[in-house]
């Protein structure tokens, strides 16, 4: 995987979303949040693409971090979505051709009540706003205000059987819309998976929006997984199938480079990537290249909530 440095832009060009951020912090803590963001991001072409539709009725979740969220422009112009290219600016440039309607998600496998969900049906579920940290394996991070619902809500509707030990997520494959799949970077379509207890954890989110609006295409529209204590590539985008299985699935990055990308991929400062350290990170839009790097937090700062899932496991072996 290539490590790319974000291009510099002027602070005045960054969308602040100041009113939105202040509203969120008044609701949660009664303290106004400073608007705007400064730093370095890839320019992209977000302004020309417009914004998503408003998602009404989402309540603020107690799981949200109190950290300052990245701006809408930062979140939507600096992305990993290899189906549209390996450069961080490629998704913003090319993902607008992705067809997101009609859209269904098939949920099947080891379940009593398999079902095909229409995206409009899923958008009617009770939604929450959750500000989560995102930590990518290339040692950069963001803070993103997702809108979505717990994966557990969907799982309970299909009633998994006793054989369901893992949950597999299959993403959309649209060769006509995705220039990146013409190259054998990965085994397409992209596949990720979680252990059943990870999938049922209340932090595990199916996101349908960010900043109170429907997901932009470069961020995994119309529905994606968000697992905040794992490296970003575990959070599969543009999901079309969720399958419950008995044996651990072969995921895209495990197939491609199992020595670099393990099945669990929990954020762990003590386990380095073979080609670079994971002990520190740089926050996009907030940390300049000459400022001190931040220390990486175990489980991305969610250790109190999820460490018990891995009691007795050697996290160097099960990386």
Task: Say if 155 falls within a structural domain.
Answer: yes
- The answer to whether residues 252 and 192 touch, using CB atoms and an 8 Å cutoff, is yes
Task: Say if 21 falls within a structural domain.
Answer: yes
Count how many domains the chain has: 1
Task: Say if 66 falls within a structural domain.
Answer: yes
Residue 31 structural domain: 11-310
| Lookup result for tokens 């599969």 | 236
Which of 19-33, 97-111, 199-213 has the lowest average pLDDT?
19-33
Task: Say if 235 falls within a structural domain.
Answer: yes
Of the candidates 165, 158, 157, 169, which has an alpha carbon nearest to the alpha carbon of residue 230?
169
- Per residue in 97-108, pLDDT (tens digit) is 999 999 999 999
Task: Say if 5 falls within a structural domain.
Answer: no
For the chain, give the mean pLDDT.
87
Structure tokens at 257: 């480079």
Task: Say if 282 falls within a structural domain.
Answer: yes
pLDDT class of 13 with cuts at 50, 70, 90: very low
Higher pLDDT residue, 57 or 154?
Answer: 154
Task: Say if 318 falls within a structural domain.
Answer: no
* Mean pLDDT computed over 95-124: 98
How high is the pLDDT of residue 288?
81
- Per residue in 151-186, pLDDT (tens digit) is 999 999 999 999 999 999 999 999 999 999 999 899
3 pLDDT more than 60: no
Task: Say if 3 falls within a structural domain.
Answer: no
8 pLDDT more than 80: no
* Mean pLDDT computed over 47-63: 83
Rounded to two decimals, the pTM is 0.85
How high is the pLDDT of residue 32?
29
Q: What is the torsion angle, in degrees rounded to the nearest 10, for the CA atoms of residue 4, residue 207, residue 152 and residue 204?
A: 30
Q: Please enumerate, as own/partner, the contacts of 300-308 that have beta carbons within 8 Å and a separation of 24 or more.
A: 300/133, 300/135, 300/228, 300/229, 300/230, 300/267, 301/65, 301/133, 302/133, 302/203, 302/228, 302/229, 303/229, 305/63, 305/201, 305/202, 305/203, 305/229, 306/201, 306/203, 306/229
How high is the pLDDT of residue 290?
82
Strands 59-60 vs 128-135: parallel, antiparallel or unpaired: parallel
Instruction: Specify the CATH number for the domain of residue 305.
Output: 3.90.420.10
């Amino acid at each position: 995987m290539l490590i790319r440095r974000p291009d510099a832009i002027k602070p005045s060009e960054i969308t602040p979303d100041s009113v939105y951020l202040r509203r969120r912090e008044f609701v949660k803590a009664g303290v106004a949040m400073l608007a705007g963001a400064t730093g370095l991001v890839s320019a992209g072409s977000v302004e020309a693409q417009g914004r998503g539709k408003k998602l009404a009725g989402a309540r603020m979740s107690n799981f949200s971090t109190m950290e300052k969220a990245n701006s809408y422009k930062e979140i939507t112009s600096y992305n990993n979505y290899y189906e549209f290219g390996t450069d961080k600016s490629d998704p913003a440039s090319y993902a607008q051709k992705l067809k997101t309607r009609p859209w269904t998600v098939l949920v099947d496998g080891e379940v009593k009540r398999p079902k095909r969900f229409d995206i409009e049906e899923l958008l009617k579920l009770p939604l929450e706003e959750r500000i989560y940290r995102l930590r990518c394996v290339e040692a950069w991070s963001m803070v993103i205000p997702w809108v979505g619902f717990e994966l557990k809500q969907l799982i309970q509707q299909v009633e998994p059987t006793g054989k369901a030990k893992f949950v597999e997520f299959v993403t959309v494959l649209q060769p006509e819309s995705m220039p990146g799949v013409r190259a054998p970077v990965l085994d397409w379509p992209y596949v990720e998976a979680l252990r059943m207890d990870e999938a049922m954890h209340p932090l595990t989110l199916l996101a349908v929006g960010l900043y109170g609006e429907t997901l932009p295409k470069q961020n995994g529209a119309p529905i994606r997984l968000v697992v905040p204590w794992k490296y970003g590539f575990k959070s599969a985008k543009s999901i079309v199938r969720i399958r419950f299985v008995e044996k651990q699935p072969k995921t895209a990055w495990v197939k491609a480079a199992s020595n670099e990308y393990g099945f669990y991929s929990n954020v762990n400062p003590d386990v380095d990537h073979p080609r670079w350290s994971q002990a520190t990170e740089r926050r996009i839009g907030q940390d300049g290249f000459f400022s001190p790097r931040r220390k990486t937090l175990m489980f991305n700062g969610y250790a109190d909530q999820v460490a018990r899932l891995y009691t007795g496991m050697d996290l160097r072996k099960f990386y």
